[in-house]
Amino acid sequence: MNNPISASGESLDHGRSIVFRNGLVLTMDDAYRILKQCDVLVVGGVITEIGPNIQAPGDALSIDASGGILMPGMIDTHRHMWQTAMRAYGADWTLSQYFVWYYLEHGKNFRPQDVFAGNLLSAIEAVDAGVTTSVDWSHGLQTIDHADAAVDALETVPGRFVLAFGNIQRAPWEWSADKELRDFFSRRFDGKGDMLKFQIAFDVVAGPEFPERAAFEVARDLGVSVNTHAGVLGANGDDSIRLMHDNGFMGPDTILVHCATLSDDSYQRIAACGSSVSVSTESEQSAGQGYPSSWKLRQFDIPITLSHDTSVWWSADLFTAMRTTLGADRSRQHFEAHLKGETVTQLDLRSEHVIDWATRGGSKALGLDDKIGSLEVGKRADIVLIKNDESPVMFPIVNPYGHVAMQAQRADVHTVVIDGNIVKHEHRLINIDLTKARSAVESTVGFLTDTLGEEAWNAGMHPELPPKHEIDNPYHYNK
């Protein structure tokens, strides 16, 4: 995969300067500036100039952005990438069916190469959809070999990743105490910069004695943040938030996932700590953690980020995350009004807000807002060009925020630049080996079907339907 070339014969080598010409730029800066017919220049991996008719270096690759939208790379703060080898297997699951399948029955069958396969496909899928930074909430790391396989996959793909280390097969106060974990962190992460970062991932569920304290202390020792599912109906709730808060383990670098079933007291504690919440609306809508929480989080000014959770159920593009979040939030606003016999005349949540959550929200939660999250001079160049001249959906662009949030799709992602390097161009992935991912995933699916046997495999995929409740209808249709 040497010397990648564009359709017009241009070199797409990493490190080459790039100038986007005549795009509509959603800066996502603090002023939410939208710039029309604007150029963006990238030199040495950094955005060096934004404006009309930029004088670019002679060797810069020129990309025609006319008819398209330039926006910052999107940031997903919670995706279980190892599960991508099981894409859509659990499309009809509830949360308890997921827990039984992965936590209790079959998750332990995943070998290091299976974690590699899922992570590789997920990493490619992310950058293809313009998700330039992904937090890999990796809770299948039963051994350090599994963890090395996860990182090997992430390092194969030229995206920005955070490995959030977890292990659902053991308690967090056990695995976090392993010397091997610290060795792994030093060996694979320490001093690696912003392309590959590290978090600790576990959930607080054990009760008032708070044994998870030990895992929080390990994270603090390593100088990394904690990413944790919270407010998950049936799994954990206000007690977990209170324990984290009372013991001083929630701060601006803590990411709380879902927070869908909590009291106002918990939301106030989260707000007071400045912690971010990762909202996975597609997940919350069908798995059952509680109502997607953005409508509630907004009331308390809690910082919001978006995530897709897992491809075992849902899509892995943040266009869908933005769209479903707008829908769920607005649905709740209408519902609350209707309960009072009122109608909504002005929507609270706007398209630009969900785009902000999909970009700046993530960069702030990850402590990377001085480097990525917006298109501003001086920031690292993580840029997405949404443009598709073949699509009847890409014109007219009269409302750019509305267009991105409600109209654009993965297939409209024309070019993706990450840390100044072209990863996708003219709708084609560059320097990325999909064949390798395909064969790795096929081998994992083959291994799992053989291991489970056909009956268990099919039963896992097709949970029984509950009996239908017949409603007695006094009216009859007579032919």
In sequence order, the β-bridge partners of residue 201 are 227
Q: How many helices (H) and strands (E) would you count in the chain?
A: 16, 17
C-beta of 182: minimal distance to Zn ion in Å? 25
CA–centroid distance for 438 within its chain: 22
Our CB check for Zn ion shows the closer of 139 and 197 to be 139
Structure tokens that stand for 51 in this block:
């404006």
Our CB check for Zn ion shows the closer of 32 and 99 to be 99
Contact residues for Zn ion, defined by CB under 5 A? 309
C-beta of 288: minimal distance to Zn ion in Å? 13
Sign of CA dihedral 406, 302, 132, 374: positive
How far the first Cα of the chain sits from its last, in Å, is 67
What is the number of the residue whose Cβ is closest to Zn ion? Answer: 309
C-beta of 138: minimal distance to Zn ion in Å? 11
C-beta of 376: minimal distance to Zn ion in Å? 31
Peptide bond into 396 cis (omega under 30): yes
Our CB check for Zn ion shows the closer of 28 and 168 to be 168
Query: What does the angle CA 400 – CA 406 – CA 410 come to, to the nearest 5 degrees?
Result: 95
C-beta of 258: minimal distance to Zn ion in Å? 7
Our CB check for Zn ion shows the closer of 39 and 309 to be 309
Our CB check for Zn ion shows the closer of 85 and 417 to be 85
Our CB check for Zn ion shows the closer of 125 and 309 to be 309
C-beta of 174: minimal distance to Zn ion in Å? 21
CA–centroid distance for 195 within its chain: 16
Structure tokens that stand for 36 in this block:
């029309």
Cβ atoms 35, 47 nearer than 8 A? no
C-beta of 427: minimal distance to Zn ion in Å? 30
Our CB check for Zn ion shows the closer of 175 and 314 to be 314
Cβ atoms 115, 145 nearer than 8 A? no
| Rama region for 172: left / alpha / beta (φ>0; ψ in -120 to 50; rest) | alpha
Cβ atoms 67, 387 nearer than 8 A? yes
